Chain A
Amino acid sequence: MPAPDIGSRSEAPVDSATASDRALLRALASGDRAAGEVLVERTYRRVWSAHMKFTGGDADLAADLTQETYRRAWAAIASFDGRAAFATWLYRIAYTTFLNHVRRPRRVVPLDPEVEAVASDPGPNGERQILGTERDLRVRQAVLALPDALRDTVAARFWGDLPVREIAASEGISEVAVRKRLRRAYGLLEAALEVTS
Chain B
Amino acid sequence: MTRTTERELERRLTGPPVGEPPPELRDRLIGDIPHEIELHPDLAERRVVRFPSRQWRLAAAATVVLALTAAVTWRLWDDGAAMRAAVEAMASDGVTESEPTVSRSRVVAEETATDELEAGAAGDRDSGTAAGARQQTATETGRAGDARAAEVSPRTDVAGTAAEAPEAAVVGQLRDEDAASDIDGAKPQPAERRNEASDLKLRDAPAPRGEEDARRAAEPGRDQLVVGSVEAPHPDPAPAAELRQEETRQASKGAAAGVPKSEMRTVVTYAPPSWPVAPPSTGGTAEPNDAPYGDVFFREYGVNPFVDTADDALSTFGLEVDTGSYTVVRRYLADGHLPPREAVRVEEIVNFFDYGDPAPRSADDVQLSVEGAPSPYTDNDAYRVLRFGVRFRDVDTAARPPAVLTFVVDVSGSMARENRLGLVQRALASLLANLRSDDRVGLVVYGSVGEVVLEPTTDHEMVRRAIDRLAPGGSTNAEEGLVLGYRLADEFYRSGGINRVILCSDGVANVGRTGPESILARIRSEAERGIELTSVGFGMGNYNDVLLEQLADAGDGRYAYVDTFKEARRLFVEELTGTLLTVAHDAKVQVEFDPDVVTRWRLLGYENRDVADERFRDPTVDAGEIGAGQHATAVYEVKLADDAPQRGTVATLRLRYRPAGENREVEVEQRLALADLQRRWQDAPESLRLAASVAELAELLKGTYWARGGSFETVARELARIADERDGDPQVAEVARLARTAARLAGDRAAADVEE
Contact = CB atoms under 8 A, between A and B. Distances in A.
A196 B419 CA distance: 41
Interface stretch (B25-33, B452-460, B613-621, B728-736): B25-33
A178 to B, nearest CB: 14
Interface in A77-111: 77-83, 89, 92-93, 96-97, 100-101, 103-111
A64 interface: yes
A29 interface: yes
B334 A109 contact: yes
A111 B418 contact: yes
A31 B33 CA distance: 11
A52 B18 contact: yes
A40 interface: yes
Given A40-B29, A186-B6, A186-B9, A112 B15 contact: no
A7 B229 contact: yes
A15 interface: no
A105 B343 CA distance: 12
Contacts of A49: 18, 21
B564 to A, nearest CB: 5
B49 A82 contact: yes
A195 interface: yes
A68 B756 contact: no
A40 B755 CA distance: 41
Given A107-B418, A115-B422, A139 B32 contact: no
How many residues of A sit at the interface, in one of the four size bands?
35 or more
Interface string B524-548: 0000000000000011111100000
Contacts of A33: 33, 35
Given A72-B543, A105-B334, A108-B335, A29 B5 contact: no
Contacts of B508: 64, 67-68
B40 A80 contact: yes
B28 A67 contact: yes
A21 to B, nearest CB: 9
B32 A71 contact: yes
A26 B297 contact: no
A92 B631 CA distance: 41
Contacts of B472: 124
B231 interface: yes
A72 B13 CA distance: 27
Nearest to A110: B418
Given A82-B43, A100-B541, A92 B292 contact: yes
A14 interface: no
Contact of B44 (A29, A45, A92): A29
Interface string A158-197: 1100000000000000000000000100110110010111
A3 interface: no
A18 to B, nearest CB: 15
Contacts of A19: none
Interface string B43-72: 110110100000000000000000000000
Interface in B429-445: none
B263 interface: no
B414 interface: yes
Output the residue of B16, B510, B538 with the most chain A CB within 10 A.
B16
Contacts of A7: 229
A197 B293 contact: no
B32 A74 contact: yes
B405 to A, nearest CB: 23
A9 interface: yes
Contacts of B294: 92-93, 96
A111 B40 contact: no
A62 B413 CA distance: 12
Interface in B217-251: 229, 231
Contacts of B9: 186, 189-190, 193, 195
B25 A48 contact: yes
A159 B18 CA distance: 11
Interface centre among B5, B332, B752 (most CB of A within 10 A): B5
Contacts of A92: 292-294
Contact of B420 (A60, A111, A139): A111
Contacts of A190: 1, 5, 9
B196 interface: yes
Interface string B3-26: 011111110111110111110011
Contacts of A197: 2, 4-5, 7-8
Contacts of B47: 5, 22
Interface in B293-336: 293-294, 296-297, 331-332, 334-336
A43 B590 CA distance: 50
B221 to A, nearest CB: 15
A196 B5 contact: yes
Given A71-B543, A121-B418, A195-B8, A149 B39 contact: no
Given A44-B25, A112-B419, A187 B1 contact: yes
B39 A193 contact: no
Contacts of B15: 53, 136, 139, 158-159
B414 A64 contact: yes
A63 interface: yes
B33 A74 contact: yes
A119 interface: yes
A81 B40 contact: yes
B155 interface: no
Given A25-B39, A111-B418, A72 B542 contact: no
B26 to A, nearest CB: 6
B24 to A, nearest CB: 8
Contacts of B159: none
Count chain B CB atoms within 10 A of each CB in A67, A107, A143, A149 and give the residue with the most: A67
Contact of B756 (A9, A62, A64, A147): A147
A82 B40 contact: yes
Contact of A59 (B10, B22, B420): B22
B37 A74 contact: yes
Contacts of A9: 229, 231
Interface in B568-619: none
A144 interface: no
Contacts of B39: 25-26, 29, 77-78, 80
A76 B261 CA distance: 42
Interface in B372-392: none
B471 to A, nearest CB: 11
A131 B416 CA distance: 16
B225 to A, nearest CB: 14
B33 A193 contact: no
Contacts of A28: 33, 37
B756 to A, nearest CB: 5
Given A107-B418, A112-B565, A79 B296 contact: yes
20 contacts: A22-B43, A25-B39, A33-B35, A41-B26, A48-B25, A59-B22, A67-B28, A67-B32, A74-B33, A75-B296, A82-B43, A103-B332, A104-B337, A107-B418, A111-B563, A115-B419, A186-B6, A193-B9, A197-B4, A197-B5
Interface of A: 5-7, 9, 22, 25-26, 28-29, 31, 33, 36-37, 40-41, 44-45, 48-49, 52-53, 57, 59-64, 66-68, 70-72, 74-83, 89, 92-93, 96-97, 100-101, 103-112, 114-116, 119, 121-124, 132, 135-136, 139, 143, 147-149, 154, 157-159, 183, 186-187, 189-190, 193, 195-197
Given A29-B37, A104-B337, 9 more contacts: A52-B18, A77-B40, A78-B39, A80-B39, A83-B42, A112-B565, A116-B419, A123-B416, A189-B9
